[in-house]
Structure 1
């Protein structure tokens, strides 16, 4: 019964009334009795949590938990690009001349995903990586590179599921859902960090205190499981050849290296 409830929380819903109902429940103290069973069901690693399980006052507090200092190691190499999240690499590949990326055999318009605010041309023939966060994952997002935030804006109003089935059969959730697009200029070029919400109309909270992003520092968090899409400018990124799909990664682990154009 509990498993059905939790799956319903994750896989529901694009209906605003139900989304708001679930949001209010997870953020209220009424949800606290579910914390222990949620942690058990999803086998959360309590040893790495900053706080003891019993101190969280709601499911939302648990979803957005912080980790102990040094729970994740960040690769120091200046040109190393690290995973911004704990999650699963669901897909990667080249951005096509048609301004698309092929995800689970399905084309997604990059232009539709990032909107008209950003010049897409320099990203054609660049690399994309899609990282999915499930309910069990740590939900805070960290910068994959050191650089300067030059642009950030929000798009979309939907909240379709972004899990594997959602990507394959859904209504283009990466291009329809509420999302925050951040463009960062690093020492080799630019990268787009697209944070795609999955539950609630606004499930992405930006926390960066400066426009200067340092690799490994927190920049945002998700209120529920969701997805981060990284888009690298052409000829500025070389993918780690150990990357495959699906592949579990931790925040701070190597995705690849920045390269000269």
Structure 2
């Protein structure tokens, strides 16, 4: 009985108007006083932040913080694809004829995730990672490969939670939520970085200025609240690390596997 009730509450709170109100407060100077408590509640390692807590202008400013230089070394081995974020892996595996199977008990098609883009065909038998960022994590998104941005798309949508509850209890969250999709060309083909918005602030922003040509580990975008990145690799272009599995934690810049050069 309680699950349908909580689903209803989540449906009601997933409206963009509520997210805008939450976001406005988080970006205001009035929210500064919440930063120390927020950091303590979520166990955020404040010593890793680029600045002292008192230097952040708002809760959102702290949430989108950069880290101290050198804390996230980027794997420089040849043909490596790296994690674009600090995250827990909540789904991974081969894409089977365009189907992403069993992400917290639900299947997704690449078509719906990519908003029925003509590029969908490139990922029909590729590989995917679902990377969940909790409020504790560093929320800047970096490039997983050396390459060039060949297309960007913003897909309006809902702002359901993308945590364990949201993925299991809400219907097809990853393909119903707001998304910012970046397609990059690299030495072995193409990769899609799908940034999925979440409940509350749900704002995904590209860094400015953003070059079309980027090195592995360069800043690409950032979340203004906890969310998820779905990383899609083109068919026959990627071999995953054998020791990674659902539940593994990864850091930005850490190798996820190898690109197979064309």
| TM-score normalised by the chain length of structure 2 | 0.91
Quote how far apart the aligned CAs of 1:135 are: 0.5
**Shift in alpha-carbon separation, 1:64–1:11, aligned structure 2, 3 A:** farther
Gaps of at least 5 residues in structure 1 are: 1-9
1:109 aligns with 2:99: no
Q: Structure 1 runs of 4+ off > 6 angstroms? A: none
Aligned to 1:215: 216
Aligned to 1:25: 25
Stretch deviating more after TM superposition (192-201 or 144-153):
192-201
Conservation of the 8 A alpha-carbon contact between 1:91 and 1:104: yes
**Shift in alpha-carbon separation, 1:37–1:201, aligned structure 2, 3 A:** closer
Conservation of the 8 A alpha-carbon contact between 1:93 and 1:102: no
TM-align CA RMSD: 1.8
> What is the CA–CA distance in structure 1 between the aligned matches of 2:130 and 2:28, rounded to whole Å?
31
1:83-102 correspondence runs (5 A): 83-102=83-102
**Shift in alpha-carbon separation, 1:105–1:149, aligned structure 2, 3 A:** same
> What is the CA–CA distance in structure 2 between the aligned matches of 1:44 and 1:12, rounded to whole Å?
29
1:169-228 deviations in whole A, cap 9, x for unaligned? 212121111111111110011111101111357511011621112100100000000000
Quote how far apart the aligned CAs of 1:12 are: 8.4
1:134 aligns with 2:124: no
Aligned to 1:203: 203
> What is the CA–CA distance in structure 2 between the aligned matches of 1:43 and 1:206, rounded to whole Å?
27
> What is the CA–CA distance in structure 1 between the aligned matches of 2:187 and 2:237, rounded to whole Å?
10
Aligned to 2:257: 256
Conservation of the 8 A alpha-carbon contact between 2:99 and 2:124: yes
Gaps of at least 5 residues in structure 2 are: 1-9
1:179-190 correspondence runs (5 A): 179-190=179-190
Conservation of the 8 A alpha-carbon contact between 1:101 and 1:128: no
Quote how far apart the aligned CAs of 1:122 are: 2.2
**Shift in alpha-carbon separation, 1:219–1:11, aligned structure 2, 3 A:** farther
